[in-house]
């Protein structure tokens, strides 16, 4: 079960720069604007958390424990000061032999973001902040609002005025203050609200993406869980926006190798919408991070104009690559997931879309496609209705026959 108090048996010892791992900081206060020492005018470098890996108990990964959320992995996470909601522990659903979907819609607020926000809200609590502020028009904002509410903290969400109707209700559901503001104003306002109101920022505030130093650590548990069921897969396909999920999964597998539990890491395939794709552009141009114009796409959750260095590291260190997926390709993958009983938002289908764009037989062994979130969150949901049918038998029969059913 998950309890109302957090747990503190973390082996986290310090923060360090992803720009230069020799640049270290104390664990507290959490770095919420990346690494100030290594960041330049052009590129902000994120920070990460380091652990006393030599103190991880023997057999730690072998234990079969009941599902208890992040607590299961507390030693390798930042201190879990905020109470949990049973985040993580999501199933691997087989799509066909050797192809698995990691269904992240099974989290407390029905997206992967809960793994991150258990960590960021814990950071806010540890930092003594009265609440959190987050720029998000979706999963991140609602998830932060839920964990903040559970921890007794306030939450302010800077949202896009064009957020889909059901998502708008979702953002407000946990008592957050939701402020729809133009997209360009969100990051500067996050910083100003953080500074003036003392709220802890749990999303990005820098020119290229850095986010919160503790957040991506929560995604390592995706790797731990996949490994517990499948070992090291032949590849992991990850819907990619700012690259935090990608990085966290990569770091989790890298830790398993470092601790001698496995001897290799899977290639991580970053799956971005073709309408944007700043990570693909950064990799192409050999840059740590870059900016692109974002065209029209329905994949709102991962349609980002800037990337962060985490994405480049994750692809490079895993021997992976990045892929750009058209909306047509994303819709086909979304439809395939629905036919398999999983209703995913368009962004969430990017992992499977990536796999379906690869040559058949390219991977020797099981592959995992992460599906990040539920279909309730998509654009257009709630905007059209089913057409009523008169209850007379002939009308009903005609509709069923038109749908291809035979009487």
Q: Which of residues 149-188 bind its own copies (CB under 8 A)?
A: 149-150, 154, 156, 159, 161, 163-166, 168-175, 177-182, 185
Contact (Cβ atoms closer than 8 angstroms) between residue 310 and residue 219: no
Contact (Cβ atoms closer than 8 angstroms) between residue 235 and residue 66: no
User: Which residues have a Cβ under 8 Å from the Cβ of 122 and sit 6 or more positions away?
Assistant: 6, 78, 79, 80, 81, 82, 151, 214
Q: What's the closest the beta carbon of residue 303 comes to its own copies, in angstroms? A: 20
Q: Which of 28, 50, 75, 89 binds its own copies (CB under 8 A)?
A: 89
Give all strands (DSSP E) within 31-186, no chain letters: 47-51, 92-96, 99-103, 131-135, 154-159, 177-180
Q: Which of 16, 106, 113, 200 binds its own copies (CB under 8 A)?
A: 106
By beta-carbon proximity to its own copies, the closer residue of 166 and 234 is 166
Q: What's the closest the beta carbon of residue 272 comes to its own copies, in angstroms? A: 24
x/- track of binding to its own copies for residues 41-80 (CB under 8 A): -----------------------xxxxxx-----------
By beta-carbon proximity to its own copies, the closer residue of 315 and 355 is 355
Q: Which of 84, 80, 81 is nearest to 69 (CA)?
A: 84
Q: Which of 13, 28, 29, 86 binds its own copies (CB under 8 A)?
A: 86
- Residue 24 CA to residue 327 CA, distance in Å, equals 41
By beta-carbon proximity to its own copies, the closer residue of 65 and 296 is 65
x/- track of binding to its own copies for residues 353-392 (CB under 8 A): ---------------------xxx---xxxxxxxxxxxx-
x/- track of binding to its own copies for residues 206-245 (CB under 8 A): ----------------------xxx---------------
For 402, the token pair is 């038109």
In the block, tokens 């990085």 appear at 247
Q: What's the closest the beta carbon of residue 240 comes to its own copies, in angstroms? A: 23
Q: What's the closest the beta carbon of residue 10 comes to its own copies, in angstroms? A: 20
Contact (Cβ atoms closer than 8 angstroms) between residue 225 and residue 157: no
Q: What's the closest the beta carbon of residue 275 comes to its own copies, in angstroms? A: 23
Three-class SS of residue 232?
coil
Q: Which of 211, 217, 214 is nearest to 136 (CA)?
A: 211
Q: How distant, in Å, are the alpha carbons of 121, 221, 252, 255, 399 from that of 272? A: 27, 22, 21, 25, 39
Binding part of the chain for its own copies, among 26-34, 98-106, 206-214, 351-359 by CB under 8 A, reads 98-106
Residue 190: count of CB within 10 angstroms of its CB: 23
Beta strands 47-51 and 24-26 are unpaired
For 107, the token pair is 């989290």
Residue 189: count of CB within 10 angstroms of its CB: 18
Binding part of the chain for its own copies, among 88-96, 239-247, 270-278, 297-305 by CB under 8 A, reads 88-96
The CA-based dihedral angle spanning residues 207, 212, 217, 218, taken in that order and rounded to the nearest 10 degrees: -110
Name the H helices within 259-392: 278-285, 309-318, 327-339, 350-356
By beta-carbon proximity to its own copies, the closer residue of 55 and 64 is 64
Binding part of the chain for its own copies, among 54-62, 94-102, 292-300, 306-314 by CB under 8 A, reads 94-102
Q: What's the closest the beta carbon of residue 151 comes to its own copies, in angstroms? A: 8
Q: Which of 196, 263, 285, 286 binds its own copies (CB under 8 A)?
A: 196
By beta-carbon proximity to its own copies, the closer residue of 252 and 311 is 252
Of residues 119-148, those binding its own copies (CB under 8 A)? 130-131, 142, 146-147
Q: What's the closest the beta carbon of residue 11 comes to its own copies, in angstroms? A: 24
Binding part of the chain for its own copies, among 43-51, 265-273, 309-317, 399-407 by CB under 8 A, reads 399-407
Of residues 6-35, those binding its own copies (CB under 8 A)? none
- Residue 47 CA to residue 120 CA, distance in Å, equals 13
For 48, the token pair is 């990460």
By beta-carbon proximity to its own copies, the closer residue of 69 and 243 is 69
Q: What's the closest the beta carbon of residue 122 comes to its own copies, in angstroms? A: 13
Q: Is 382 left (phi over 0), alpha (psi -120 to 50) or beta?
A: left
**Residue 339 touches its own copies, criterion: CB under 8 A:** yes
Give all strands (DSSP E) within 138-209, no chain letters: 154-159, 177-180, 200-201
By beta-carbon proximity to its own copies, the closer residue of 5 and 21 is 5
């Amino acid at each position: 079960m998950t309890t109302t108090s957090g747990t503190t048996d973390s082996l986290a010892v310090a923060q360090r720069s992803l720009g230069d791992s020799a640049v270290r900081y104390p664990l507290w206060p959490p770095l919420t604007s990346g690494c100030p020492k290594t960041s330049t005018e052009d590129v902000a470098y994120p920070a990460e958390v380091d652990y006393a890996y030599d103190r991880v108990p023997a057999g730690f990964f072998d234990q079969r424990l009941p599902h208890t959320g992040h607590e299961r992995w507390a030693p390798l996470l930042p201190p879990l000061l905020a109470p949990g909601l049973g985040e993580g522990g999501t199933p691997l659903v087989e799509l066909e032999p050797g192809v698995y979907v990691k269904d992240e819609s099974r989290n407390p607020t029905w997206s992967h973001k809960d793994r991150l926000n258990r960590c960021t809200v814990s950071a806010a609590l540890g930092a003594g902040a009265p609440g959190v502020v987050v720029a998000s028009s979706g999963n991140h904002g609602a998830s932060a609002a839920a964990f903040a509410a559970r921890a007794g903290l306030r939450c302010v969400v800077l949202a896009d005025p064009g957020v889909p109707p059901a998502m708008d209700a979702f953002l407000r559901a946990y008592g957050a203050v939701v402020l729809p503001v133009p997209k360009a104003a969100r990051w500067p306002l996050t910083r100003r609200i953080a500074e003036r109101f003392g709220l802890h920022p749990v999303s990005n505030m820098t020119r290229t993406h850095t986010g919160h130093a503790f957040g991506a650590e929560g995604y390592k548990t995706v790797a731990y869980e996949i490994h517990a069921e499948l070992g090291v897969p032949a590849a992991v396909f990850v819907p990619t926006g700012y690259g935090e999920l990608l990085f966290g999964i990569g770091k989790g597998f890298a830790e398993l190798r470092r601790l001698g539990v496995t001897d290799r890491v899977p290639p991580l395939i970053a799956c971005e919408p073709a309408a944007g794709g700043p990570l693909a552009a950064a990799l192409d141009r050999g840059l740590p991070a870059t900016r692109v114009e974002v065209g029209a796409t329905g994949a709102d959750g991962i349609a980002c104009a800037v990337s962060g260095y985490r994405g480049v590291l994750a692809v490079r260190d895993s021997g992976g690559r990045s892929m750009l997926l058209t909306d047509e390709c994303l819709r086909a993958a979304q439809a395939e997931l629905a036919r398999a009983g999983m209703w995913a938002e368009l962004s969430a289908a990017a992992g499977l879309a990536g796999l379906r764009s690869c040559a058949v037989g390219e991977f020797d062994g099981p592959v995992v496609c992460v599906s990040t979130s539920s279909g309730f969150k998509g654009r257009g949901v709630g905007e059209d209705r089913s057409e009523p049918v008169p209850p007379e038998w002939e009308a009903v029969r005609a509709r069923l026959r038109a749908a291809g059913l035979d009487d």
